[in-house]
Amino acid sequence: MNKWLFWQKDWFISLLIALVFLLGANSDLMQSLERKAYDLGVLASSRIPSDKIAVIAIDDQSIANLGRWPWPREIHAMMIDILAIGNAKAIGHTVLFSEPQVDAGLTYLEKLSGLLVNSSLQQSNPAEWAQLNEIAQDALSHLDNDKKLAESMAKANKVLLGMIFELGEPQGRPDVALPEFVVKSGLTNIKAGVRGARPLATTAILAPIALLGERASAIGHLTMSKDVDGGVRTEPLVLNYYDQYFPSLSLMLVAKSLNLEPKDIQVTLGESVKVGNLTIPTDSESRMYTYFYSNQNGKPAFQVDSFYDVLSGKIPPEKYRDKIVLIGATAAGVGEFPATPVSPGMSPVLILANSVSSILKGDFFVTPSWAGLAQIGVFLLVALYLILLLPRLNAAIGAVVTGALFIVLLGAHFILMTTQALWLQLMLPASLLLVGHLLLTTKRFLMTEKGKQKSDAESAESNRMLGLAFQGQGQLDIAFDKFRKVQLDDSLMDVLYNLGLDFERKRQFNKAESVFKYMAEYNPKFRDLAARLVQSRAMSETVMLGGSSGRSNATTMVLDKAGVSKPMLGRYEIEKELGKGAMGVVYLGKDPKIGRVVAIKTMALAQEFEADELADVKARFFREAETAGRLNHPNIVTMYDAGEEHDLAYIAMEFLKGRDLAPYTKPDNLLPLPTVMNIIARVADALDYAHKQNVVHRDIKPANIMYDPETDTPKVTDFGIARITDSSKTKTGMVLGTPSFMSPEQLAGKKIEGASDLFSLGVSLYQMACGKLPFEGDSMAQLMYRIANEPHADILSIRKDLPPCLVAIINRSLAKKIEDRYANGAEMAVALRHCAALARDAPPLNGDPFAASSQR
């Protein structure tokens, strides 16, 4: 029976949609869409306006200087005189002089003049009467502004005035006959064109006063034809007033500039208007699709000068030689400023300038005679696509095809406008395409949604279980994705809350914030969710755990924030920051499974190295950790673990009490010499062990030797830059370590062996014995030169009470040649212990156990 329910079929729904759009083709909404597309096409094109047009603006500056609007017509007369002197080609004045200007003083003078004519004074005292009459006539002449303007217009013989028609279909005959000067500007060369086509009809006219109209070279209308959205896009080149045809002011200005008259203008109804050799295509109502010029490089499309600047002589009249000069208001509040494709509000005089330039340069848009058939054809093709093809396509392919067709329609619209100046109204088929596709897609969705709901319910529990499994494995991002596929309820809120805490422990506060936000959409009052959300948002903007190599002084640890779960690195819970070492930031951590306290050295490798180096650096980091982890000696820090978490690489190692030996290198804080020799001997033993494991430290110095006075235990730390000494894994030519403690061969970039560490240990022994370094320089280059080429400073010149055996150990350790140093750490340790024993057995001199040794 379903086969008879054709109204549910996609093709039938598509047919209904197409019919609805067809009926609404002329609706205000659809016409507004067409006009908006037209405006975008105008803005996308670029033309250069005619340089024969100049605009003199009655602007705010002019009104401020010349007085309130309207001005006395004497001012307009002065402007026309100036432009006549400058030999302007034509002057188009857009101010409507539809009423005479009556001055109050002029009325009284006319009465006075009338009394003088009938006065008896003419008989009794002719001389006095003649003098009074002359004064009265002179005053009348000065106050008659209309007469002054008329005289200036007649003298210039190139002024064109505007008139306004009221649009509408006439119901009978006009009330009064048109003035002769208006009829004189009418068009008579009218030819039949498109059947039924005729200009816009009008019912009334507002013309200039006769005194001015008779002196004008021509009259043209300034009537605007507005679209449904109130914008102006067209120019009615011809209007029909009771079967008489009158041109626009723009058309008459062009004719005047070409030395033509109204009789030279030929109108083919519904097709074109021809003035001289210029042919302007029009629509069925004799309207031209004006091209509106955009500003060029931030400058106005047309030359616009202030009325006051011209009147005051700031701008010379010669500037307007052979120009079509347009005079009109641009000041705010003077006249109506309708929208155009390039401006939300444009003054009538600038609209006129665009129209005149469009005619002169042939810059106008054309709707060709075949446009109607083309628009119907495109509409039918889109309708057939929706009815016949789209129902047969799957969702993905249908979306691609619809998108491609939509782009083609828009592309055709803009390409035709910008390259061919052709306007086809394609928004109707484009809108049909989009709306039809969306409605069909919605219909398919609604028909299948019921089935999907059942499927979703069955998969919700699976996603919940998968999310819990991924969360247990530490794959929190995947877990969150799975949980979001489950409908939120109170039980899932508990699960998500724990997930947010897990993100906090991993220092991923931005992701914790996302979880808490998601929960807040369901129940913002759940537990302490509001506080958690604020806290995670603040913490996501704070650097939590990160490496620092001196690039930033920012805090790297925030653990004392109330309510924040302690961060985790791998399986280690971070307690606090201990300091910053060679590899990065060092933290105190704890392995919660076995309760072991560890020191964790971290480094944010992604922040420290470029992307192309990162893989190699990570490999080196873990290789160094593996190397250090192989070392098992009582005087070497034990390495427990290494790993990578989020943005950090880390090494977990034995947590040591005490401090490094750097503070004991100060002259006023030296350790007793027996203690120093005992510490250095055990470090030498540790290095001997490491060297036998093919590991060279490369950066032996007091700062890398930890010492606990309570247990008298030294430990070598920071094998972070150590490398396996196999030739296949050692890069020569690379300088690593601290310059003051480097051996000559290390500075030279040669292959480094254990003897280099013993040289560095000798430097450390020297510094801990006397409080100074054996090599010093004013610059890095000078320091490196002295280490490589000059003997070290005699330690006895710094401290005279050292035993000769210790001096000998130091001198041998600091030998330039490798073969002159100790063969290994064990040999150096034996020498140090033997020296300490000699010093211990020697009788004290002046209370100093080393004084006797030094005197031998």
DSSP, residue by residue, 318-331: GGGTT-EEEEEE-S
Provide the token pair at 829.
């340790």
- The HSE-up count of residue 493 (CA atoms within 13 Å, CB side) is 14
- Residue 357 burial (CB count, 10 A): 27
Strands 705-708 and 90-93: unpaired
- What gap in Å lies between CA 570 and CA 579, rounded to an integer? 20
- Could you write out the three-class secondary structure of 570-604? CCEEEEEEEEEECCEEEEEEEECCCCEEEEEEEEC
Q: Rounded CA gap, 280 and 130, in Å? A: 61
Element (H, E) at 181: helix 180-183
765 contacts 810 by C-beta, under 8 angstroms: yes
Candidate list 10, 660, 685, 699, residue with the active-site label: 699
**Contact present, 519 and 497 (Cβ < 8 Å):** yes
Catalytic residue list contains 699: yes
SS (H, E, C) 360-424: HHCCEEECCCCHHHHHHHHHHHHHHHHHHHHHHCCHHHHHHHHHHHHHHHHHHHHHHHHHHCECC
Q: Is 291 exposed, middle or buried (0-12, 13-18, 19+ CB in 10 A)?
A: buried
DSSP 704-743: GEEEETTTTEEEE--GGG-EE--TTTPPTT---S-GGG--
Beta-ladder partners of 226: 232
Q: Which two tokens stand for residue 546?
A: 């990160």
Residue type, 283: D
The 3-state secondary structure of 647-672 reads CEEEEEEECCCCEECHHHHCHHHCCC
Six token digits for residue 788: 């490589």
**DSSP letter (8 states) at residue 564:** P
- Token pair in block for residue 538: 């603040």
Residues 98-136: b if buried by 16+ CB within 10 A, e if exposed: beebeeeebeebeebeeebeeeeeeeeeeeebeebbeeb
φ, ψ at 531 (rounded to 5°): -65, -40
**Dihedral (Cα; 351, 353, 359, 363), 10-degree rounding:** -70
Structure tokens at 503: 């993100």
**Cβ–Cβ under 8 Å, residues 567 and 574:** yes
* Strand (E) or helix (H) holding 517: helix 509-520
| Nearest of 656, 764, 798 to residue 717 by alpha carbon | 656
The residue type at 204:
A
Contact 545, 602 (CB under 8 A): yes
183 by DSSP, 3-state: which? Answer: helix
Q: Which two tokens stand for residue 759?
A: 């040289």
User: In this structure, are strands 90-93 and 324-329 parallel, antiparallel, or unpaired?
Assistant: parallel
Q: What angle do CA 34, 360, 276 make, to 5 degrees?
A: 115
Across 147-229, the runs of DSSP E, i.e. the strands, are: 159-167, 189-191, 200-206, 218-221, 225-226
Active site residues: 699
